[in-house]
Amino acid sequence: MMLERLYADVSPEVAAILDRALEGRELEHAEGLRLLATAGADFQAFCRAADVARTQDNGDDVSFVVCRNINFTNVCYVGCSFCGFARHRDEEDSYDRTIEQILEKCRDAVARGATEVCIQGGIDPQKDHKDYRDILVGIKAEFPDLHIHAYSPEEIDHGHQKSGMPLGEYLGWLVDAGLGTMPGTAAEILDDEVRKVLAPNKLMTARWREIVTTAHQVGLRSTATIMYGHIEQPRHIVAHLKLIREIQKETGGFTEFVPLGFIHEKNALGHVNIEGHGPSAADDLKLIALSRLMLRPHIRNIQMSWVKMGPKLAQMAIQSGANDMGGTLMEESISRESGADHGENLPAEEMRRLIREMGRTPIERSTSYEILRRFDDPANDPPSLEPGEERDLAGPRRFRNERGLARVPIHQIQL
Ligand code: SF4
């Protein structure tokens, strides 16, 4: 009876929208807007409905991928207002990694169990299509089984323009060299009204769509993303989700959708943003929940970003519609240099712990969501840290002893 009273506080309008979503019907623009405006009992019911939808879509499995981010250059002149990563070539801390340096990072990643490397960089006008291909060829020569998830649509746009090839041919040329999937980043908000303020020199909505749909047509799957919590209005968020849904109905090429909260601390946009802060915890959970309810049944995988949210809020996202924790990353520069402070490395054992604490089953997956390992029983888990293992210890829940090396995760210390 008490529970009935709790749910009696949910407004009939919101209850009807959530019912429709749970019946598997597509939500309309006005319904998405109404859900973004929820508060109190309506907001709680919204998150709960998204959690139920996640169970319907994926059961209680929550996945992650063991991967390493590699940013091969931070030289970029595009000038996006939200970016704290880019440097001009003459700046002291600009860098441009050689193929050998990239391979060294791949070796380290593979030694630490990575099945994927995610490769992205700034848009360096001195680089061309051959530079992008050379990285793929170099990695595949040494690691033929390592999945390469690389090059945002902005980078594809740059390489394509330099190549002089038709777009489909250019993408196929990269696939032949070893490109496995493409990050659906550089999406921010897919509305030119917003893009012209955020990043006027970046590719516009039609070009992002052209690159992504052409990629899907040549068999190159991609993720899809949104960056929210800056100057956009709720209508832009809902329209963005509808566009992603439309593309997925057309191509079926998206592997997952990833809401990315704006990090405001160290970039130009954060300083002029009138609110003076990025998204709230409620905003983060609403984006996860709305993505689940608006994109189903066409996109089954909703990923949260632990880098942006932090591990604790990521756990709440698991209860608000997300079924994927993303990658272990091992190294992360783009969010960190905009001010994110949740670490660069979330090891697999931490992923498993966070997932289990929320009552779900951890799954290690491939980039394209094949199940690689199920971790049904903690007793069968691999050891947390193997003897002689050298890890990047910048991640959360690590400590450094006097000799500068941590060997034991804090949660394993018996008090
Ligand atoms: S977001 Fe990407 S394209 Fe924009 S300035 Fe930063 S590195 Fe360059």
User: Which structural domains are found in the chain, ordered by start?
Assistant: 58-370 (3.20.20.70)
Nearest CA to ligand 1 atom 7: 122
Mean predicted lDDT score pLDDT of the chain: 89
- 263-281 as b/e: b if 16+ CB within 10 A: bbeebebbeebeeeebbee
Nearest CA to ligand 1 atom 4: 80
Among 2-6, 46-50, 300-304, which stretch is predicted with the lowest mean pLDDT? Answer: 2-6
1 confidence band (pLDDT: 50, 70, 90): low
Residue 272 has pLDDT above 60, yes or no: yes
Tell me what pLDDT residue 395 has.
37
Looking at per-residue confidence, does 377 or 182 come out higher?
182
Residue 292 has pLDDT above 90, yes or no: yes
**Measured in angstroms, how far is the CA atom of residue 135 from the centroid of ligand 1?**
19
Tell me what pLDDT residue 143 has.
98
Tell me what pLDDT residue 384 has.
57
Tell me what pLDDT residue 167 has.
98
Residue 203 CB–ligand 1 contact under 6 Å: no
Residue 170 CB–ligand 1 contact under 6 Å: no
**Measured in angstroms, how far is the CA atom of residue 76 from the centroid of ligand 1?**
6
Tell me what pLDDT residue 393 has.
35
Tell me what pLDDT residue 401 has.
32
User: What are the pLDDT digits (tens) for 152-185?
Assistant: 999 999 999 999 999 999 999 999 999 999 999 9
Task: Read off the pLDDT of each residue in 74-97 and give the average, rounded to a whole number.
Answer: 95
User: What are the pLDDT digits (tens) for 104-148?
Assistant: 999 999 999 999 999 999 999 999 999 999 999 999 999 999 999
pTM above 0.75, yes or no: yes
415 confidence band (pLDDT: 50, 70, 90): very low
Residue 254 CB–ligand 1 contact under 6 Å: no
Instruction: Write out the two tokens for 105.
Output: 């990072």
**Measured in angstroms, how far is the CA atom of residue 53 from the centroid of ligand 1?**
35
**Measured in angstroms, how far is the CA atom of residue 55 from the centroid of ligand 1?**
36
286: nearest Cα among 229, 210, 213, 346: 229
Closest ligand 1 atom to Cα of 76 = 8
Tell me what pLDDT residue 276 has.
58
Tell me what pLDDT residue 333 has.
65
Nearest CA to ligand 1 atom 2: 122
Nearest CA to ligand 1 atom 3: 78
336 confidence band (pLDDT: 50, 70, 90): low
The one-letter amino acid at 177:
A
